[in-house]
């Protein structure tokens, strides 16, 4: 992961420390980091006070914030380093560290619960919005499979089909 301190040092090293666009991006990242920390503290306090739903929703919004932070930090690093930052290997900028961070940042929206699912949790538990409609919610799983043209055969997984 690329940290805020890494980005400040990188901007200075590459002569981009006075670039207003880079400075604005780093300031935006700093704001996201602060808000993320405050959100995590609020979720922890709500959970400790016994409000488990608010604590879980805070964890969801914290995960979404962390995804945004990870992606933004990687993008800023590539903006500073330039196209050479997309290379991998020993001859790449910083040994390909920023290319790896950029590619990894995309995965962060999936691991730990996809961002879309985390948004649904926050919408339902914090905003009180209704659940998404699910036409098959009250149907047994075997009927859903049958409707898709498949058989619900518990032994089929053992036969490799």
Residue 27 has pLDDT above 90, yes or no: yes
For residue 65, the number of C-alpha atoms closer than 13 Å in the C-beta half-sphere is 20
| CATH value at residue 41 | 1.20.140.10
pLDDT at 159: 47
pTM of the model: 0.72
To 5 degrees, how large is the angle CA 78–CA 60–CA 2?
20
**Cα 17 from chain centroid?**
27
pLDDT at 62: 83
Closest CA to 42 of 30, 33, 55, 31: 55
Q: What is the pLDDT of residues 37-91, one digit of tens each?
A: 988 888 888 888 887 777 777 778 888 888 899 999 999 999 999 888 888 887 7
Cα dihedral 129, 132, 136, 137, rounded to 10, equals: -30
Range of the domain at 147: 4-159
Q: Check: CB of residue 63 under 8 Å from CB of residue 111.
A: no
Q: Greatest CA separation found in the chain?
A: 65
Q: What is the pLDDT of residues 127-155, one digit of tens each?
A: 888 988 777 777 777 777 665 555 555 55
Residue 120 has pLDDT above 50, yes or no: yes
Question: In the chain, how many domains are there?
Answer: 1
Q: Report the C-alpha gap between 69 and 109 in whole angstroms.
A: 11
Q: Report the C-alpha gap between 40 and 58 in whole angstroms.
A: 7
Q: What is the pLDDT of residues 88-116, one digit of tens each?
A: 887 777 788 888 888 888 888 887 778 88
């Amino acid at each position: 992961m690329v940290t805020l301190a890494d980005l400040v040092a990188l901007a200075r090293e590459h002569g981009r420390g006075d670039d207003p666009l880079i400075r604005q991006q780093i300031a935006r990242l700093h704001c996201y980091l602060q808000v993320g920390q405050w959100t995590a503290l609020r979720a922890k306090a709500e959970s400790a006070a016994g409000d488990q739903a608010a604590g879980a929703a805070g964890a969801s919004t914290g995960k979404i914030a962390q995804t945004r932070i990870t992606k933004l930090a990687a993008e800023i690093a590539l903006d500073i380093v330039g196209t050479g930052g997309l290379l991998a290997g020993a001859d790449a900028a910083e040994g390909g560290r920023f290319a790896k961070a950029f590619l990894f940042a995309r995965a962060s929206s999936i691991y730990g619960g996809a961002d879309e699912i985390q948004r649904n949790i926050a919408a339902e538990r914090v905003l009180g919005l209704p659940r998404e409609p699910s036409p098959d919610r009250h149907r047994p799983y075997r009927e859903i499979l049958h409707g898709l043209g498949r058989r619900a055969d518990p032994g089929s997984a053992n036969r490799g089909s």
